[in-house]
Copies of this chain bind each other. A is one copy, B any other.
Amino acid sequence: MKDQLRNWIKENQEESIRLLQKLVQLPSTQGKEKEVQDFVAIKLSDLGFDVDLWELDGKELKKHPYFYSSRETFEGSPNVVGVLKGSGKGRSIILNGHVDVVPAGDVKQWEHGPYSGNISDGKLYGRGSTDMKGGNAALMIAMEAIRSLDIQLKGDVIFQSVVEEESGGAGTLAAVLKGYTADAAIIPEPTNMKIFPKQQGSKWFRITVKGRTAHGGTRYLGVSAIDKSFQVVEHIKKLEKVRNDRIDDPLYDATPVPIPINIGKIEGGDWPSSVPDVVQLEGRIGIAPNESIEDAQQELEAWIEKLDETDEWFKESPVELDWFGARWVPGEIANDHPLMEALTNNYSNVLGGQPTVEASPWGTDGGLLTQVGNTPSVVFGPGVTSMAHFPNEYIELEKIFQAAEVIAGTIIDWCGVDK
């Protein structure tokens, strides 16, 4: 059956390339996803899926603590979920991919038009080719192969074609809240064919550090908020150590700091000759795959409160900690989960050798699937992250066919086949 899949994929490469080309040629930046989603809906319907296409309900989603988006209404930005019921008694799987792409940026920096879908030297160019319409195409090719070969799966396949991944994950959140969950999920984000069973989450914070102003000529009469902010950063570094010392997953053995706390911005003071009385720090705290965002937040809050044990000044002038902006929910699947076994076996079968299994330092929609949808999620796909979001984004077509074959085989092994 695996040989049949391989042959089908090989024989239908031309058509598969046209499919990806079409996906790339339908620009789908935030707010403009309708056309590509209509196309996906028809494609899924043709493959026999029951298709649900709906616009996200911002008012309703806003009630959920994990909702985050730069917008509150989603007109013209539908989600698409296709359900292919199995014959029964099989394990269900979610195939999740986002259709939203980041803007093309300065078009002059593109050699090929950002929505051209031009092919050159085995690479297909265009915004979203890597992130992640190439992965989406691999999912579709896998399902088309299975359907064309009349392979009857036992478990259900839930194909989630979502919006808003680039802006906070509201698309996947909406799909999960609508009940589209499963026994496990595959997300073909660009991992360069590595397997990521853990995805680090993160949350942004802002810390306001106070000082007391004075004229720079008598700076000793003031208290520098810059000096105090240095102490705050040192204090936070100690928490980073405490949090990382706890991590014992062997997957992180080679990672110097599995879940870093990063201070990304600093700003304070308004005059070279004055002692600065306020400094703001902005950063992100990495959240472990098996940790909730809330627990991580509480730990940082409690740690910051202990600042006054390090310096009386913080008793008098406590720092303020605010949570703001985006958050990425951590995602995971157990290292020895049967889906991992299926994926690894099929990888070896298709590509030879053992796959690289790593933890990703960034979150994906897999976090929402894992933590809100209770669906263990693994990330595996064609394309390399360094291509994503840059001009001249492209994807190697060969990798898409390989990924499609690995995923098709995994689906068969996981969902089971009704002979």
- Residues of A at under 8 Å CB distance from B? 200, 202, 204-205, 215-220, 224, 226-227, 229-230, 233, 256-257, 260, 262-276, 279, 282-284, 286, 325, 360-362
Are the CB atoms of B269 and A276 closer together than 8 Å? Answer: no
Query: Is A284 a contact of B273 with CB atoms below 8 Å?
Result: yes
* B267–A272 CB distance below 8 A: no
Complex Cα gap A216–B267 (Å): 18
Residues of chain B within 8 A of A220, CB atoms compared: 256-257, 260
**In the assembly, what is the distance between CA of A283 and CA of B224, in Å?**
12
Please state if A262 and B275 are interface contacts (CB–CB under 8 Å). yes
Instruction: Judge whether B325 and A262 touch: CB under 8 Å.
Output: no
CA distance A284 to B224 in the complex (A): 14
Please name all residues of chain B whose beta carbon is closer than 8 Å to the beta carbon of A257 when the two chains form the complex. 219-220
State the CA gap A224–B230 with chains docked (Å).
13
A183 to chain B, nearest CB (A): 28
Contact across chains for A200 and B227 when beta carbons are under 8 A apart:
no
A245 shortest CB reach to chain B, Å: 15
Query: Can you name the residue of chain B whose Cβ is closest to the Cβ of A218?
Result: B361
CB neighbours (8 Å) of A276 from chain B are 263-266
Q: Which residues of B contact A226 (CB under 8 A)?
A: 233, 263, 266
Instruction: Assess the A279–B266 pair: CB atoms within 8 A.
Output: yes
Does A268 contact B266, Cβ atoms closer than 8 Å? yes
Q: From A273, which residue of chain B is reached at the shortest CB distance? A: B284
Task: Check B362–A215 contact: CB distance below 8 A.
Answer: yes
How close is A253's CB to chain B, nearest CB, in angstroms?
15
A266 to B271, CA, bound (A): 10
A269 and B266 contact, CB distance less than 8 A: yes
> What is the bound-complex CA distance between A233 and B264, given in angstroms?
18
Q: How far is the CB of A221 from chain B (nearest CB, A)?
A: 9
Say yes or no: B260 contacts A216, CB within 8 Å.
yes
- Return chain B residues, CB-CB under 8 Å to A283: 216, 272
Closest beta carbon of chain B to A419's beta carbon, Å: 45
Alpha-carbon distance between A263 and B279 when the two chains are bound, in angstroms: 12
**15 interchain pairs (CB within 8 A)?**
A216-B286, A217-B262, A218-B260, A226-B233, A230-B233, A262-B272, A262-B275, A264-B269, A264-B270, A264-B272, A264-B275, A265-B272, A266-B276, A267-B268, A272-B325
Contacts A202-B216, A230-B230 aside, 14 further interface pairs with beta carbons under 8 A come to A202-B273, A215-B362, A216-B260, A217-B360, A218-B260, A219-B257, A219-B260, A219-B262, A262-B274, A264-B269, A265-B271, A266-B266, A272-B325, A273-B284
**Across chains A and B, which 5 residue pairs bring their CB atoms closest together, nearest first?**
A217-B361, A216-B262, A265-B269, A264-B272, A219-B260
- CB contacts (< 8 Å) of A263 on chain B: these are 224, 226, 269, 276
Give Cα distance in the complex from A270 to B226, angstroms. 18
When distances are taken between beta carbons in the complex, the residues of chain B under 8 Å from A282 are: 269, 272
With A230-B233, A260-B217 as given contacts, are A204 and B273 in contact (CB-CB < 8 Å)?
A: yes
Contact partner, A267, options B215, B224, B267, Cβ 8 Å:
B267
The reply to whether B230 and A202 form a contact with Cβ atoms under 8 Å apart is no
- How far apart are the CA atoms of A266 and B266 in the complex, in Å? 7
Cβ-neighbour of A273 out of B227, B264, B275 (below 8 A): B264
B contact residues around A274 at 8 Å (CB): 262, 264
Given contacts A266-B268, A266-B276, contact A217 B204 (CB under 8 A): no
Residues of B within 8 A of A264 (CB): 216, 269-276
Cβ of A325: which chain B residues have Cβ within 8 Å of it?
272
